[in-house]
Amino acid sequence: MFSNTFPLWPARASSISGPVDALFIFLLMLCGLMCIAIFTAIIVFAVRYRRRPGHEAIPIEGSNAVEFTWTLIPAGVFIIIFVWGAYLYFQERTPPKDSMDVYTVAKQWMWKFQHTEGQREINELHIPIGRDVRVIMTSQDVIHSFYVPAFRIKQDVLPGRYTIAWFRATAAGTYHLFCAEYCGTNHSGMVGDVVVMEPAQYQSWLSGGQAMGSLAQTGQGVFDSLGCSTCHRMDTQGRGPNLMGVYGKPVLLEDGRTVIADENYIRESILNPAVKVVAGFKPIMPTFQGIVSEDQVNALVAYIKSLNPQPVGPAETPTFKGPAASKADTRQR
Amino acid sequence: MATTAVALSERENYLNKEYGITSWLFTTDHKRIALLYLITITFFFFIGGFFALLIRLELLTPEGDLLLADTYNKMFTMHGQVMVFFFLIPAVPAVLGNFLIPIMIGAKDLAFPRVNLLSWYLLAIGGCLMIYTILSGGVDTGWTFYTPLSTHFLDTHVITAALAIFVAGFSSILTGLNFIVTIHRMRAPGMTWSRLPLFVWANYATSIIQVLGTPVLAISLMLVALERIFNLGIFNPQLGGDPLLFQHLFWFYSHPAVYIMILPGMGVVSEIVTCFSRKRIFGYKFMALAVIAIAVLGFLVWAHHMFVAGISLYAAMVFSLLSYFVAVPSAIKVFNWTATMFKGSISYSTPMLYAFGFIGLFTMGGLTGLFVAALGIDVHVTDTYFVIAHFHYIMVGGMVMAYLGGMHFWWPKISGRMYPEFWGRLAAMIIFIGFNLTFFPQFVLGWLGMPRRYWQYSPEFQVLNVLSTAGATILAVGYLLPMLYFLWSMRYGKAAPENPWNGAGLEWKISSPPVTDNFDETPLVTWEAYNYDELPQEVPVGR
Amino acid sequence: MADSPPAVVTHNPELQHHFTTLEQQTEAAVMGMWVFLITEIMFFGGMFAGYMIYRFMYYQAWLEGSQHMDFWYGSINTVVLLCSSLTMALAVRSTQLGLRRSSVVLLLITILFGLAFLGIKGVEYYGHIVDEHQFPGPSFRFAGAYTAQVEMFFSFYFAMTGFHALHMVIGVGLVSFVAYHAWKGRYHAHYYTPVENVGLYWHFVDIVWIYLYPLFYLISHIHK
Amino acid sequence: MSAHIASKKLYVTIWASLIGLTILTAAVSYLELGAFNIVLALVIATAKMLLVALFFMGVKYISEKMTLVVIVAGLFWLMILLILSMTDYISRPWI
């Protein structure tokens, strides 16, 4: 089944892959049965009622009762499949709160990852077993798609905004990372590896990297060098809103709407500041589109997130769920 | 048979009425226009097929060794564009529908014969633009033209390709318009809606989609072209444009377009199954309602192509639920065809073999649709070979099977000649086997996670890819055969009688091939559709 | 019609051979025109959908952009088009009544109104493109808080009014065509389908403008 | 030919109402009504559209039901396009 030359089932390495496989197997059996039933009926009818001397067709108009039966029963079954699929999807789309963030920039034709601790990787992503990982992604050019078959997750990466994929790896190993949305010439070369490690190994991998500061520290450097702090003062209210603790909170806008200050909002406020102005402020902030790179935006977002009094990212609270949690997950397989 | 053979040579018909190239290029006879379409789409089918073969050959090995990456990308792009817009969409409606709809409803011609000719010219012009695109270096956007790749990042012939499809789209719109008006206004006395053959119902439903959907494709491609030519900023993310807007507009047409490609095939199969089972269709009303339901519901599901694209969680759920609703009428159709065979008198003529193939492959295509409509699973299999296999089961396994079945079924009427039955059955078997060998492994590939549109791939996928390529070569042989023996039969085939299958429709009550005005006098319809219980049980030919 | 007896044959030169009655032919033609018009609805519908979505996303920028529309050009053009619709409707009526002279005159007035609309539109475009550098692309200049989004607003403005103007050009061509044939006396009280269908097309193009006018010129209460 | 021929007076009346509505919509656009500006503008535009369609285009006099169905279908499908695509954009910030 899992042979290297002729596999028939993809590796299962995340907390969601078990439940996805369960639905898949359910559908395989259900549809397999349907196929067998219909094919058998066709073959039996074709043989049993084949044209031969002395055999005549018997006229049948149809039957409303039969029609309603095979309308309503499939409809009912379909609803069950829908609910099951939607339930899985809801889990896939709603990342848990206390997760470790990896900032990702996709470009033709490469994946750039940056951990909040500061490590950068290209086409390779190291993550520990048993942690919830949020991959916060944006594209520098066209649409790409972050796809790890072993995790059963896929999320398109769009230019101009963040999309988020999350997973919790359950088995150590090296898994394929594919770009699944056609992105130009070298689309099929935009592949990489996701390396899932035991927490201890991951820690040593983290500390073994280059000794640059954390992503938030890089962000602070960008923040200061761009002069953001002249308006966004941390001690008192400047010409721009105070960014202390703003992440994750609802923000009342000038036009009366309220938005949650998530990654996407912070990002938009850097690149298109006038679109969603905070109530009580004027749209005086210049756009930083074309001035800061995607990497710098990520750093700024990480910095602003780190300003929360209650730490949000793992850079501040490296609490691992430990082997117990990962064992619980593996049992789901 | 001998008497009809004499009749063939004596009687003036639409084929021998006039000769010369202008008598074809300026004809307004729906039957001649159907043949113009037949030639055009056959040409494009083999071009598209050639691209497919190159794709399969490239994928024989994991490394990109036969073609360059860019060439490969152009191959799958143009395979999709040619096959979808220049073969599948015009295939059954514009060839068989054009030929048969006026005859089936007892009319002399379509409501707007000159518009009908114009439709063909539009397809031909679009086709020339497509050929120009191919010859001048091709286009590599993917047939989906996703922005911003197509608007800002490619240097290939995006504009001419978009224009080609734009023009071909108008051909499709005008055909649909013509059919709708014809079916409403041109029915013979006594041909009520409840007596229409299901083939006409299916084409009617198709026409609704063509008329309501195609303009949205036209405008979205036009906006892509304008963005390239004039720097308009409608899809430009640099200006805050949403990359998903194009996908919404594109799939608003291109999902229903899948039903443009399959509904007429369903109509063909309804005709064939009843004729070769010598039975009325099981549940006529439900069959007719089902095609209309598919046409309407088909418009409500487009965003299921975008579940991982970054659309809202809740919108995804709505579209997933609606997608399951459209599966219900498709299921009804499969059940009813099967039930129609129950207690029939079934003969295994070539068209019936294709119909068997259609039902089986469409069932598998439809059931795998349940997988991709399930949100949690779609996240894993979308944009992989699973989806490729799924829609090829519908479009090739479904539509091309039905198209070939219909071509065999009505070939005696179209050409006045019989095709060789042995070769017909052989080709049907080869195509069925080749098809499954080509596309079944792709389901497994997709589930394993091989993404679509990959020029090179990970070595563990090779065995399945080799199987698929082997199947594709068998499939190619299968598709060449009918073309060869159809051509052969035009000269050497036995003359076809008026009604070789003892069929029930109006088309079997006129001579083969028909005269230019179809009917000597306007028929008066007094019978219900598929009254096979009132016809002889024998299928005279093709035993 | 499906159930009408096929026997009635009025030997009208306008009756094409594949129709049984002229009534059937007329009904088919008018229905065909309506089906064509709903394809046009969907054609513009794609752009309206895009407009609506971006207006929802960038409301402030849309207000900002609207302030750079010329209220008076837009309003005058609306009135011009409404007048042309009236003359078109009257032209169809005259043709129905068999009044050749008045139908030709009314069609010509319609053409004049159509040309007037296009002329005003041209002047307005000239102002936007040459004087104010508001055509999207490298030459786009805009001083304000929402430069990028206003550029999108103008993209929609030029795309939607541009396609509308293209339809106007086609419409003027079609009206000229029927005006010529009306002058030649081809239409009469029993055969006027081409005039009727061109009229339907003309009114449809008018309706599109009826929506474009408020969506571009009136969404901000500050007018230039 | 039994087509309905409307009177000249009716056409002129409709035209006058259309001009009136145009002046009205231009006038109310000067008021600051917030979100209601666009609502009001679209309501007036729809009223104008109905006047043009019903009288100038003669929808009111179409005896053939199928043509009416065609027209309603066109508007219905436009609504599908607008409303269903809007569901995505409106609900994106939820969760």
Residue of B330 and D5 predicted with greater confidence: B330
Q: Which residues of A touch D (CB under 8 A)?
A: 93-94, 259-260
For B330, which residue in chain A has the nearest alpha carbon? Answer: A71
- Give how far C131 is from chain D: nearest CA, Å: 26
The pLDDT, as a whole number, for residue A1 is 39
Q: Return the pLDDT at C6.
A: 44
Q: Where are the domains of chain B?
A: 29-534
* Spatial contact of A302 and A106, defined as CB atoms under 8 Å apart: no
Subunits with 3+ Cβ pairs within 8 Å of C are A, B, D
User: Residue A314 pLDDT > 70, yes or no?
Assistant: no
Residue pLDDT, tens place only, A138-185? 999 999 999 999 999 999 999 989 999 999 999 999 999 999 999 999
pLDDT in tens, C62-89: 988 998 999 999 999 999 999 999 999 9
- How far apart are the two ends of chain B, measured CA to CA in Å? 15
CB count within 10 Å of CB C139 equals 11
What CATH topology corresponds to B29-534?
Cytochrome C Oxidase; Chain A (1.20.210)
Q: Domain-by-domain residue ranges, chain C?
A: 22-217
Contacts of residue B423, Cβ cutoff 8 Å, sequence gap at least 6: B481, B485
- Cβ atoms within 10 A of the Cβ of B21, count? 7
Q: A195: which strand partners?
A: A126, A174
> Residue C2 and residue B111: Cβ atoms within 8 Å?
no
Outline where B374-461 has alpha helix (H): 375-381, 385-392, 401-415, 421-448
DSSP readout, A278-325? BTT--S-PPP-TTTS-HHHHHHHHHHHHHTSSS--STTT-----HHHH
CB contact under 8 A, A272 and C149: yes
| Low-confidence residues of chain B: pLDDT under 50 | 1-8, 543
Residue in chain C lying closest to D37 (CA): C219
Please name every residue paired with A136 in a beta bridge, in sequence order, or none if there are none: A103, A164
Least confident residue range of B104-108, B519-523, C21-25, D62-66: D62-66
CA distance A240 to chain D (A): 24
Q: Does D94 touch chain B (CB under 8 A)?
A: yes
Chains contacting D (3+ CB pairs below 8 angstroms)? A, B, C
CB pairs under 8 A between B and C: 133
Q: Nearest CA of chain B to the CA of D59: how many Å?
A: 18
Verify whether the Cβ–Cβ distance D74 to C31 is below 8 Å: no
The reply to whether A80 touches chain B by the CB within 8 Å rule is no
Cβ-defined contact of A82 to B320 (cutoff 8 Å): yes
- Do residue A82 and residue B448 have CB atoms under 8 angstroms apart? no
A141: chain B residues, CB-CB within 8 Å: 148, 153
How would residue C12 be classed by pLDDT, with cut points 50, 70 and 90?
A: low
Residues within 8 A of C (CB atoms), D 50-69 only: 52-53, 55-57, 64, 66-67
Q: What's the order of all strands across the beta sheet hosting A144-148?
A: A124-128, A192-197, A173-179, A144-148, A153-157
- HSE-CB for A65 with a 13 A CA cutoff: 0
3-class DSSP assignment, residue A41: helix
D45 inside 8 A of chain C by CB: yes
Nearest CA in chain C to B29: C18
A–D: how many Cβ contacts below 8 A? Answer: 4
Alpha-carbon Rg for chain C, nearest whole angstrom, is: 21
Residue the block writes with tokens 């919404």:
B248
Q: Which of residues 203-262 of A touch B (CB under 8 A)?
A: none
Beta-sheet pairing, A192-197 with A124-128: parallel
- Record the tokens describing residue D44, joined without a space: 């007036």
Residue A241 binned pLDDT confidence (cut-offs 50, 70, 90): confident
- Locate tokens 């911003």: which residue? B148
Amino acid occupying residue A138: T
Q: What is the largest CA-CA distance in chain C?
A: 73
Residue-wise pLDDT tens digits, B386-418: 999 999 999 999 999 999 999 999 999 999 999
Q: Which of residues 198-237 of B touch A (CB under 8 A)?
A: 237
Neighbours of A311 (CB within 10 A): 12
Alpha-carbon gap, residue B244 to B237, rounded angstroms? 10
What is the per-residue pLDDT for A327?
A: 36
Q: Do C82 and D15 touch (CB under 8 A)?
A: yes
Q: Which of D26, D48, D57 sits opposite C210 (nearest CB)?
A: D48
By Cβ distance, the residue of C31, C42, C89 closest to D78 is C42
CATH no., domain C22-217: 1.20.120.80
> Burial code of B144-178, b = ≥16 C-beta within 10 A, e = fewer?
bbbbbbbbbebebbbbbbbbbbbbbbbbbbbbbbb
Segment (H or E) for C42: helix C22-57
What is the C-alpha to C-alpha distance for residues C172 and C191, in angstroms, rounded to an integer? Answer: 22
Phi, psi dihedrals of residue C133, rounded to the nearest 5°: 55, 45
Residues A132 and A170 sit within 8 Å (Cβ to Cβ): no
Q: State the pLDDT at residue B524.
A: 92
Domains belonging to chain A, first-starting first, are 100-211+316-331 (2.60.40.420), 215-306 (1.10.760.10)
How high is the ipTM of this complex?
0.91
pLDDT given at position C11: 56
Nearest residue in C to D26, CA atom: C218
Chain C residues with CB under 8 Å of A272 CB are 148-149
Give the model's pLDDT for residue A209.
Answer: 64
The mean pLDDT of C38-44, rounded to a whole number, is: 94
Of D49, D82, D89, the CB nearest to C57: D89
Nearest to C46 among B173, B190, B219 (CB): B219
Q: Residue B249 and residue C50: Cβ atoms within 8 Å?
A: yes
C171 touches chain D (CB under 8 A): no
Residues B22-68 pLDDT 10s: 999 999 999 999 999 999 999 999 999 999 999 999 999 999 889 99
| Closest CA of chain D from C177, distance in Å | 20
Give the mutation candidate from D2, D57, D92 for the C interface (greatest C CB count, under 10 A).
Answer: D57
CB pairs under 8 A between C and D: 132
Residues 6+ apart with CB under 8 A from B421: B349, B350, B541, B542
Interface test with chain C among A161, A255, A275, by most C beta carbons within 10 Å: A275
* Mean pLDDT, rounded, for A200-206: 90
Per-residue pLDDT at C21 exceeds 60: yes
Query: Closest chain B residue to A268 measured between Cα atoms?
Result: B240
Name every chain A residue with its beta carbon within 8 A of the beta carbon of B328: 71, 74-75, 78
pLDDT in tens, D22-61: 999 999 988 888 778 889 999 999 999 999 999 999 888 8
- Give me the residue from D8, D22, D81 closest to C90, CB to CB: D8
Q: Which residues of A touch B59 (CB under 8 A)?
A: none
Nearest to C221 among D30, D66, D78 (CB): D30
Q: List the structure tokens of B102.
A: 């006026």
How far apart are alpha carbons C101 and C109 in whole angstroms? 13
Joined tokens for residue B136: 């001048």
Q: For the residues A16-24, what does the mean pLDDT come to? A: 95
Tell me which chain C residues have a C-beta less than 8 angstroms from the C-beta of D48.
207, 210
- Contact between A289 and C61 using a beta-carbon 8 Å cutoff: no
Answer whether C138 sits within 8 Å of B231, measured CB to CB: yes
- Report pLDDT digits (tens) over B82-140: 999 999 999 999 999 999 999 999 999 999 999 999 999 999 999 999 999 999 999 99
Subunit contact A67:B360, Cβ cutoff 8 A: no
For residue D73, which residues of chain B lie inside 8 Å, CB to CB? 208, 212
Q: Do C82 and D18 touch (CB under 8 A)?
A: yes
Would you list the DSSP string of B91-128?
Answer: IIIIIIIHHHHHHHTT-SS-S-HHHHHHHHHHHHHHHH
DSSP 8-state class, residue B509: G
User: Contact B277/A57, CB-based, under 8 Å?
Assistant: yes
Scanning B278-297, the segments in alpha helix (DSSP H) are 284-297
The beta-carbon neighbor of D77 closest among C42, C48, C221 is C42
Name the residue among B113, B102, B116 with its Cα closest to residue B187.
B102
